[in-house]
Structure 1
Amino acid sequence: MRIGLWMSAILYITNLFPFTRQWSYQISNILITSFTSPILTLGKNPYSLTELIVLVGLLFGLVIFAGTLTNFLRSRILSFTVINRGAQEAIIILLKYGLIFIGTLVLLQIWGLDISSLTILASALSVGIGFGLQDIAKNFGSGLVLVFERPIQVGDFVEVGEYTGIVERIGARSTEIRTLDHVSIIVPNSRFLEKEVINWSHRNPISRLHLPVGVAYSSDPKAVQSALLEAASKHPNVLQTPLPLVLFKEFGNNTLNFELLVWTTEPNKQFLLKSDLYYIIYEVLKQREIEIPFAQLDLHLRSGQLEFTPEMQLALIQMVERLSNQESYIDSTDPIERGTEGVDI
């Protein structure tokens, strides 16, 4: 648009003066010829630059129309239905790309472009697209698999590698995950199919959490079990069906190791739930005088007599004599010890 405004201003100014009017006509004829003369022939139909620009504008308008329509459908219709969020997003994605595909075919037919004439061009570009855009094609295919098989859905709480968060959007090429810190992570779709993904919300949102606890060796295991179960019963987000469970894991180096197993329907809040439970566990163990030890090391020195061999005794005597001789030599050379004889005052 900026270039067009500059060209229009130049042509208008040059057309005002007689000696530059001829240049204005020549430039105008060159521009008109450039935009109206055929530059591409598909089949029997020639197409000019202006016609191609109009076609690109119509296709761009089609994409905007499909996005606006699907957003209206999501916010005004599907949001009031009983369909879950993942199914709503699947319907939106299929409808959006279906409208774009069908609309593109209709526009090309109305424009008079024979679809069969594009087969030669498509075959010529297929090798280049296969090598240059293979990652995009792989991610696009993975996106279709995610939409149809639905191993993950919008709203699921997932772990992908080092990232943990809620799935906000499943696109054609990538998926958006919002972490617990409200940071959006864009993950390629192929990663969900090539690597292991933990989906805490898949089919059954009820999940079990593990909380390891270590106590001193002087503690009664039954009392520890009762204390941990009491702590689990005090939290409202811990399910009582299935019941919480306490496992005696092992005899550790410094502690008796237990593990508290609890069930929850909100796995996306598991970090807050674990923190609350540890607060409660600490208070309950403190009330019942159950010690939580820390790692420590006891060093015991055995008492007795240290015996020396004759060789060791001789070596020690020689070392003591040598040290005493050195001290006597230092004392004899000290000017303070020698006094002030021979010094004129």
Structure 2
Amino acid sequence: MSVVVRNAAVILLLLLSFKLVALSPLGDLLAALGIGLAAALLAFRLARAGGLRWLAAMALGTFALLVATIGTLGGLAPLLQGMSDVGFSVGKHRFSLLTAINSLIIVAILYAAARLANQVLHHLIGRASGLDAAQQLLVQKLAGIGVIVVAVLLGIDLLGLDLTALTVFSGAVGLAVGFGLQKTFGNLIAGLILLMDRSVKPGDVIVVGDTFGAVGKIGVRAVSVVTRDGKEHLIPNEQLMTEAVENWSYSDRNVRIHIPVGVGYGSDLALAQKLMIEAASEATRVLDDPKPSVWLKGFGDSSVDHEILAWIGDPELGVGNVRSDILNRVWRLFSEKGIEIPFPQRDVHIRSMASAEMAK
């Protein structure tokens, strides 16, 4: 009751002042807004007291605000005229409260419509079965750019902006783009080219410089590469266009890894090579086709150098764990069969001691 009495008293006082005191157009508008706010607060409190939810009470309060404000001014036409009278002129252009409110409403509606259209197009393109992941991403980005362009053009038309007044400004923006934003637009164009030629796609395993990992997504500015350590490297799109890039899954996801192994000179090489192939074949991620193989690379100072060649079909999971698995199996099999894994050794001949013995 205290809330009802308090708000009713505020509304009554504002109505009396509105009727008894001659105000300027701005004063009339402010007084009407005050009455509307008091009515909105009263309706909101009554709705909440009646058990309505917050959103429903807020909608009821907004409705009361509009009705009370318009009713106080005598209808919608006086309200619009009052907002139009509140403003100032600059040259031939008139800036009023009505113009500002109209602009805000138009911008808000266009923004909401653009977001809704972008989400709908994103969903429809994502469900297109005839496009792969890279093509879907490209079409989604082009559709998003198209929606923004259409929204901007509609906004310019609805707001009645004179584009001839923006000639100097557009020239300055062009210079800024040419000098300061050259890299940004270069990365944007490079990203679109990467999506069109499909040389790098989301999910590909690539090597750029010292970075090795799977492509997470291709953005407007950079490509996200997630390494096996969980680190996400953001590589500029332009760098992937100008530098050499290793794509381990460009045309085929099968990748061959090389594992060097040294065998002692006194060991049975045929048995050692058989055990190395067995160790590679038993590894979990090594493919059966193509089969693992062993190459004899050369005769080193301390060992006979071999190299195990094994194929994997999931390079995005890394190669270090496969190499570790195979080497552990090689160690176990060599230990069971008596195959020596040598370490560096040197024979030292001391000629001075031999000469002294001969002299005796």
Q: TM-score, normalised by structure 1?
A: 0.68
Q: Please tell me whether the aligned partners of residues 87 and 153 of structure 1 are also in contact (alpha carbons under 8 angstroms).
A: no
SS at match of 1:208: strand
1:69-80 correspondence runs (5 A): 69=120, 72-73=123-124, 77=127
Match of 1:86 among 130, 134, 140: 134
1:294 is aligned to 343
- In the alignment, the residues of structure 2 paired with residue 45 and residue 222 of structure 1 have an alpha-carbon distance, to the nearest angstrom, of 95
**Counterpart of 2:286?**
238
Q: Give the deviation of 1:126 after TM superposition.
A: 1.0
> How does 1:265-284 map onto structure 2 within 5 Å?
265-269=313-317, 270-284=319-333
Cα deviation per residue 1:115-162 (whole Å; 9 max; x = unaligned)?
Answer: 676555423421222101111011111111111111111111112222
8 A contact 2:134–2:201 mirrored in 1: yes
What is the deviation of 1:109? 2.6
Q: Which residue of 2 aligns with 1:98?
A: 146
In structure 2, distance between residues paired with 1:38 and 1:174: 46
Residue equivalent to 1:212: 260
Q: How does 1:18-57 map to 2 (within 5 A)?
A: 36-37=87-88, 57=108
1:175-216 Cα shifts (integer Å, max 9, x gaps): 212221222222211111111111111121111111111111
Which letter does structure 2 place at the counterpart of 1:98? Answer: G
User: How far 1:86 sits from its partner (Å)?
Assistant: 3.0
CA distance in 1, matches of 2:101, 2:345: 83
1:40–1:125 distance in 2 versus 1, CA, 3 Å:
farther
1:68 pairs with 115, 119, 124, which one?
119
CA distance 1:63–1:222, shift in 2 (3 Å): farther
Q: Which AA in structure 1 matches 2:343? A: F
Give the structure 2 partner of residue 9 of structure 1: none
- Show the counterpart of 2:219: 171
SS at match of 2:235: strand
Alignment partners' CA distance in 2, 1:38 and 1:182: 59
Separation in structure 2 between the aligned mates of residue 107 and residue 198 of structure 1, nearest angstrom: 45
**Distance of 1:60 and 1:38 partners within structure 2:** 28
Amino acid at match of 2:222: S
Q: Structure 2: give runs of 5+ residues left out of the alignment.
A: 1-13, 15-22, 31-82
Question: In the alignment, is the contact (CA less than 8 A) between 1:62 and 1:100 conserved in 2?
Answer: no
In structure 2, what is the Cα distance between the partners aligned to 1:293 and 1:193? 46
Task: Mark the structure with the bigger radius of gyration.
Answer: 1
Contact 2:138/2:192 (8 A) holds in 1: no
One-letter code aligned to 1:161: G
Q: 2: CA distance between counterparts of 1:285 and 1:133?
A: 61
Residue-pair matches, total: 283
Shift of 1:266: 0.7
1:151 partnered with 2:202: no
Task: Give, as a single letter, the amino acid of the residue that structure 1 aligns with 2:120.
Answer: L
Partner of 1:223: 271
Q: Could you tell which deviates more after superposition, 44-53 or 173-182?
A: 44-53
CA 1:225–1:170 in 2, change beyond 3 Å: closer, same or farther? same
CA distance in 1, matches of 2:202, 2:95: 46
Moved more, 298-307 or 243-252: 298-307
8 Å CA contact 1:210–1:259 kept in 2: the answer is: yes
Change (3 A) 1:253 1:58: farther
Distance change >3 Å, CA 86–CA 235, structure 1 → 2? same
Report the CA distance between 1:89 and its aligned residue. 2.4
User: In structure 2, what is the equivalent of residue 330 of structure 1?
Assistant: none
Distance 1:114 1:243 in 2: 71
Stretches of structure 1 that go unaligned for 5 or more consecutive residues are 1-14, 16-20, 308-345
AA aligned to 1:293 is P
**Residue type at the aligned position of 2:325:** D
Please provide the CA RMSD for this pair.
Answer: 3.8
Aligned partners of 1:282, 1:82: CA distance in 2, in Å? 49
> What is the CA–CA distance in structure 1 between the aligned matches of 2:227 and 2:153, rounded to whole Å?
40
Structure with more of its chain in helix, by fraction: 2
